[in-house]
Amino acid sequence: MEVRKELLPAEKRQAKPSDENALGFGQIFTDHMLKIDYHDGQGWHNPRIVPYGPLELDPAALVLHYGQEVFEGLKAYWGVDGDIHLFRPQANMERMLKSCARLCIPEFPRDFLLEAIMELVKIEQEWIPRSPGTSLYIRPTIIATEACLGVKVSSEYLLYVIVGPVGAYYAEGFSPTKIYVEEKYIRAAPGGLGEVKTSANYAASLLAAEKAHHAGYTQVLWLDACDKKTIEEVGTSNAFFCIGDELITAPLDGSILPGVTRDSVIQLARHWGITVNERRITIDEVIAAQANGTLKEAFATGTAAVISPVGTIAYQGAEHQVGDGQVGELSKKLYDEIVGIQLGQRPDPFGWVVRIS
Ligand SMILES: *Cc1c(COP(=O)(O)O)cnc(C)c1O
């Protein structure tokens, strides 16, 4: 397959954002997008890079009614070598294939998709911002497009990739966040969709997130669906706790999204000789560690924010300060190391960076 290109003439392209400090997250998109179609019998076909614009969908398209959809999120950066860098993009392709399998979406050709994404990023390279903390966010998405109101697996899909410049994810920047432990609503249950990146998980999370925002908190800390004691994730990020000399995160037991940043943190921390355990950790253990002074740090991990330090945990009406309430030493070290690797400022011992030259 060859990617067909229908590119806008220079005079029809938008002006690039003038203030890289005011990019926000996910609000600005570039001039072009990648599209690939699927029909039963034909497979994936007609890959094309075309002007960015609205999709034409039948109002009965299955995705609009029953949520048969998967997506990914990764970033491109200007490396210090002048090349464009992607961070572990193969991991995103693998995860999207797993999401497809769970959502009954046909497998796409992973190497072809990654090559096509790299072509799109190269075409849009002038949109990659250069200020610290900024990047070009890449959002691959697959939606079920067959027009049918019966609940069924679609026979047609659209895979599309949009990209856009983003600034720092959290309005507060790299400073401690306040999180709210949610005890009524859950994000995902065993056997459900928690371990895949699909829209339904985010729909399920909105009400609790609204509640937390109105109460003055940045994110929700999700507990398990069964006994509402075991910690799962923070908002749309993986959760880590540093208690004594142990770094702890939830095991990938089905309801946890296997974050690429989570895996990178685990590998780096082990490389530095830190004891990392993927094990069940309850909110009671965290609160007890806080009370006896052994809870040193808590942070969330994800592509958007990389590391988001947690300064306060609100549970059952009480606020608990994590460590001294400031950005923890390990949080800072991990953030600096991962960003340094992404930009090519630090050695890349695991071969995580993929260059587009
Ligand atoms: C995307 C996502 C993460 C983080 O994954 P990364 O690959 O590190 O970006 C964590 N939890 C949820 C629910 C997510 O959707």
- Residue 270 parent element (H or E): helix 260-271
CA of 200 to the centre of ligand 1 (A): 14
Q: Which of 303, 308, 338 to mutate to test the pocket of ligand 1 (most atoms within 8 A of CB)?
A: 303
Q: Which of 98, 166, 236, 265 to mutate to test the pocket of ligand 1 (most atoms within 8 A of CB)?
A: 236
Token pair, residue 172, equals 């507060």
Amino acid at 115: E
Q: Which residues have any ligand 1 atom within 6 Å of their CB?
A: 73, 197, 233, 236-238, 257, 259-262, 301-303
Q: Which of 231, 173, 185, 188 is nearest to 209 (CA)?
A: 185
State the pLDDT at residue 78: 96
Tokens 């089905």 belong to residue: 254
* Residue 22 Rama label (left phi>0; alpha psi -120 to 50; beta): alpha
Reduced DSSP (H G I as helix, E B as strand, rest coil) percent helix, strand, coil of the chain, to 5 = 25, 30, 40
CATH number of 177-343: 3.20.10.10
State the pLDDT at residue 169: 63
E strands in 3-73? 4-5, 32-39, 43-51, 69-71
* Residue 91 Rama label (left phi>0; alpha psi -120 to 50; beta): alpha
Query: Is 328 within 8 Å of 63 (Cβ atoms)?
Result: no
Locate the domains of the chain by residue range: 4-166, 177-343
CA of 2 to the centre of ligand 1 (A): 31
Residue 27 CA to residue 139 CA, distance in Å, equals 12
CA of 222 to the centre of ligand 1 (A): 14
pLDDT tens for the chain, 357 residues long, are: 899 999 999 999 999 999 998 899 999 999 999 999 999 999 999 999 999 999 999 999 999 999 999 999 999 999 999 999 999 999 999 999 999 999 999 999 999 999 999 999 999 999 999 988 899 999 999 999 999 999 999 999 999 999 999 996 654 557 899 999 999 999 999 999 999 999 999 999 999 999 999 999 999 999 999 999 999 999 999 999 999 999 999 999 999 999 999 999 999 999 999 999 999 999 999 999 999 999 999 999 999 989 999 999 999 999 999 999 899 999 999 999 999 999 999 999 999 999 998
State the pLDDT at residue 21: 87
The closest-lying atom of ligand 1 relative to the alpha carbon of residue 262 is: 8
State the pLDDT at residue 133: 86
State the pLDDT at residue 286: 98
Q: Which of 330, 327, 296, 281 is nearest to 181 (CA)?
A: 281
State the pLDDT at residue 175: 84
Kindly report whether the global pTM for this prediction surpasses the value 0.85.
yes
Residue 228 CA to residue 52 CA, distance in Å, equals 43
CA of 73 to the centre of ligand 1 (A): 8
State the pLDDT at residue 168: 67
Into which CATH architecture does domain 4-166 fall? 2-Layer Sandwich (3.30)
The closest-lying atom of ligand 1 relative to the alpha carbon of residue 304 is: 9
CA of 158 to the centre of ligand 1 (A): 23
